[in-house]
Amino acid sequence: MPNTMKYEKILDALEELLKSRTIQTISVSDIARTAGIGKGSIYYYFPSKESILEALIERNYEKPLDTAKTLARQTSIPPFTRMAMLFQACRNSSSEFMNQENSEGIPVSTHQERSIIHQKYLNHLVTELKPELTEIIRQGIESGEIHFDQPAALAEIVLIVLAVKFDNTLIPTTQEETQATIRGLISLLEKGTGNPPGSLNFLMSFHDDTK
Amino acid sequence: MPNTMKYEKILDALEELLKSRTIQTISVSDIARTAGIGKGSIYYYFPSKESILEALIERNYEKPLDTAKTLARQTSIPPFTRMAMLFQACRNSSSEFMNQENSEGIPVSTHQERSIIHQKYLNHLVTELKPELTEIIRQGIESGEIHFDQPAALAEIVLIVLAVKFDNTLIPTTQEETQATIRGLISLLEKGTGNPPGSLNFLMSFHDDTK
DNA sequence: TTCTTTTTTCGACCATTGGTCGATTTGTGT
DNA sequence: ACACAAATCGACCAATGGTCGAAAAAAGAA
C-alpha cells in the first residue's frame, strides 16, 4: 500500500498520452514527465515500456469485465437478457479507450500501430467471458430456452464475432456492414438455438445507443 | 522491370530473418546486410521499416488467396465442397509463414510482438474472401442447398471465426478446444442453413491433416 | 566515343529511444 | 542518532530508424 500510488500515476500518464498519440510515438521520458516523476522510477515499477501498456490494458479491462461477470451470475434474470447485458458490457469496455479518437482522420498506419492493444483486447474479452457466457447458455439449455448441444463452442463463436466486430480496427467496415453482420449473427443464433425468427432481435438494442 | 530484383531481395531478406527473430528485434541494418545491399538503398525502395513488412505480408498472401478465389469460382462444384476447399486454402495460407516455429517454447511476449502480422492476416483473409464466400453461399441458396437469407453476413461470420481460430496466437487455445469450436460452428451452420445434423461434417476434414 | 543527365547506391551521420546505474534521498526500525 | 533498506532520480549508454549528400551506374544525346 505504500507505493501503489506512483504505480497508478504512471498508468494514468500513459492512459492520458494514449488519447492523442500512439504507443510508438510515446517515449518513456514522456510518460515520466507526464506522471511527474523521474524516468528511472518508471523502471523501478515496470521492467519495460511494453509492460506498462500491458498493465494499463489489464487495469482497464478488469472493471467492465468484472461487472459483466457478476452480472452474468444473476440466475434470476432470463438467459437471453443476461446475454444482452453481457453484450452491452463488451461494447462499453471496447469503446472505453480504444476509440478515443473518432477513427476518422487517423491514417491507416496509425491503426496498425495499435495492434497490440487490439489483440490483447480480443484475447482478454473472449477468454474471460467465455466461461461466463457458456454458463449462461448452459442454463438456457436446461430451462429449455436454448436448443444447442455445445454451449462452450457457441459461446466462443458469439464472443469472437462480437469482439472482432466491436473492435472496428481489426477488420474496418462501415457501420451498416457491422450492423448487417450482427443481424446475421442473431439470425443464425435464432435458427441455431431453435428460437423463432425475430425473437432475439432485442439483442440488437445494445448497438444503436446514443451518439 | 529494371530494379524489381532488389526490391524482392529486400523482402526475401526480411522473410528469412523473420524465421528466427521478431520484427522488433530485426534492425533495418540487419535487413540490408542480409540482402547484401546498403542500408540507404532500403529507403530508396521503401519509405519505412513498417512498409517492408506490409509489402512482405502482401506478397505472401496474394498467392494462396488468388488460388482460393479462382477455386471458389468453379460453379460446377457443389457449394459446400467449394466452401471446404476455401477453408483448406485459408488454413494453408495461415500456417504458411505465421507458424514458422513450432509455437512451443516461444515466450508469450514474443507472440505479442507478431501482432501486426496477425492482425494484417485476419483483415486480409476476411475482406478478400468475403465476396467469394458470399457468392458461393448465394449460389447455394439459389440451388436450395442453403436456407439463409443473409449470405454476406453468414460469410463474414464464418470467415471471422475460422480466421481467428486458425491463427492460434490471437486467442491461444489447445487443439481440442479449437476443434470443439469448429465443430460447434459446423453444427451451428447445419441448423442455421437448414441442413440435417452431420451433413456438413466433411467440412472438418481439412482440419485433421498430417502432423 | 564523350558529355550530360537521371537513376541508383551507399554508409557516415543524426536525433531519439529504451534501458542501465550509481549516487542520493526518503523512510523505518531500533 | 544510527543503520539499513526502499525509493527516486537524471546523466549516461548502446542501438535504432531514418536522412543526406556524395558518388557510382545507367541511360540518353551528340
Work out the average pLDDT over A72-81. 85
Work out the average pLDDT over A166-190. 90
CATH of B61-208, picked from 1.10.357, 1.10.10, 3.30.70, 1.20.140, is: 1.10.357
Work out the average pLDDT over B54-58. 88
pLDDT of residue A146 exceeding 60, the answer is yes
Return the pLDDT at B96: 55
pLDDT of residue B198 exceeding 90, the answer is no
Q: For nucleic chain D, give residues with Cβ below 7 angstroms from it.
A: A 2-3, 6, 37-41, 43-45; B 2, 26-30, 39-40, 43, 47-50
Measuring alpha carbon to C1', the residue closest to nucleotide D12 is A40
Nucleotide nearest to B41 (CA to C1'): C9
Cell numbers standing for residue A84: 444482452
**CB neighbours of residue A141 within 10 Å:** 18
Q: Which residues are within 8 A (CB) of B168 and not within 5 positions of it... i.e. 6 or more apart? A: B99, B103, B178
Residue of A nearest to B153 (CA): A181
Whether residue A50 lies within 8 A of chain B, CB to CB, comes out as yes
Percent of chain B surpassing pLDDT 90:
44
**CB neighbours of residue A169 within 10 Å:** 20
| Tens-place pLDDT, residues A82-98 | 888 887 776 766 555 55
Q: How confident is the model at residue B108 (pLDDT cuts 50, 70, 90)?
A: very low
Nucleotide nearest to B7 (CA to C1'): C8
Q: Do A157 and B126 touch (CB under 8 A)?
A: no
B50 contacts in A (CB within 8 Å)? Answer: 109, 112
Top mean pLDDT of A32-36, B21-25, B120-124, B173-177 is at A32-36
Angle at B51 between CA B20 and CA B53, to 5 degrees: 20
Higher pLDDT, B175 or B7: B7
Angle at A111 between CA A109 and CA A117, to 5 degrees: 130
Higher pLDDT, A193 or A204: A193
Q: How confident is the model at residue A65 (pLDDT cuts 50, 70, 90)?
A: confident
Return the pLDDT at A134: 93
Q: Between the CA atoms of B75, B78, B80 and B83, what dihedral angle is there, to the nearest 10 degrees?
A: -30
Return the pLDDT at B79: 86
A171 contacts in B (CB within 8 Å)? Answer: 122-123, 126-127, 160
CB A179 within 8 A of CB A207: yes
CB pairs under 8 A between A and B: 114
Work out the average pLDDT over B195-207. 77
Return the pLDDT at B70: 84
- Mean pLDDT, chain B, as a whole number? 82
**Rounded CA separation B64/B12 (Å):** 18
pLDDT of residue A207 exceeding 50, the answer is no
Q: Which of B95, B121, B131 is nearest to B207 (CA)?
A: B95
pLDDT of residue B211 exceeding 50, the answer is no
A188 contacts in B (CB within 8 Å)? Answer: 148, 154, 157, 188, 192
Work out the average pLDDT over A122-144. 90
Q: Judge if pTM exceeds 0.85.
A: no
Least CB-CB distance to B161: which of A50, A157, A194?
Answer: A157
Q: How confident is the model at residue A210 (pLDDT cuts 50, 70, 90)?
A: very low
Query: Residue ranges of the domains in chain A?
Result: 4-49, 61-208
- The separation, in Å, between residue A11 CA and nucleotide D30 C1' comes to 70
Work out the average pLDDT over B115-135. 84
Return the pLDDT at B113: 53
Q: How confident is the model at residue A29 (pLDDT cuts 50, 70, 90)?
A: very high
Work out the average pLDDT over A163-172. 85
pLDDT of residue A103 exceeding 50, the answer is no
- Mean pLDDT, chain A, as a whole number? 82
Return the pLDDT at A140: 92
Residue B116 C-alpha, separation from nearest chain A C-alpha, in angstroms = 6
Return the pLDDT at A92: 67
pLDDT of residue B3 exceeding 70, the answer is no
| Tens-place pLDDT, residues B78-103 | 888 888 888 777 676 655 555 444 33
**Rounded CA separation B178/A126 (Å):** 13
| Tens-place pLDDT, residues A186-200 | 999 999 999 988 888
Three-class SS state of B104: coil
Q: How confident is the model at residue A204 (pLDDT cuts 50, 70, 90)?
A: confident
Return the pLDDT at B95: 56
| Tens-place pLDDT, residues B128-176 | 889 989 999 999 999 999 999 999 999 999 999 998 998 887 888 898 9
pLDDT of residue A71 exceeding 90, the answer is no
Whether residue B194 lies within 8 A of chain A, CB to CB, comes out as yes
Fold entry, domain A4-49: Arc Repressor Mutant, subunit A (1.10.10)
Cell numbers standing for residue A96: 472505453
Whether residue B24 lies within 8 A of chain A, CB to CB, comes out as no
Q: Do A187 and B157 touch (CB under 8 A)?
A: no
Query: Which of A2-6, A37-41, A169-173, B165-169 is least confident?
Result: A2-6
Return the pLDDT at A118: 78
Work out the average pLDDT over A168-177. 86
Residues within 8 A of B (CB atoms), A 82-141 only? 109, 112, 115-116, 118-120, 122-123, 126-127
Q: Do B156 and A122 touch (CB under 8 A)?
A: no
Strand C-proximal residues of B, range 62-91, CB below 7 A, are: none
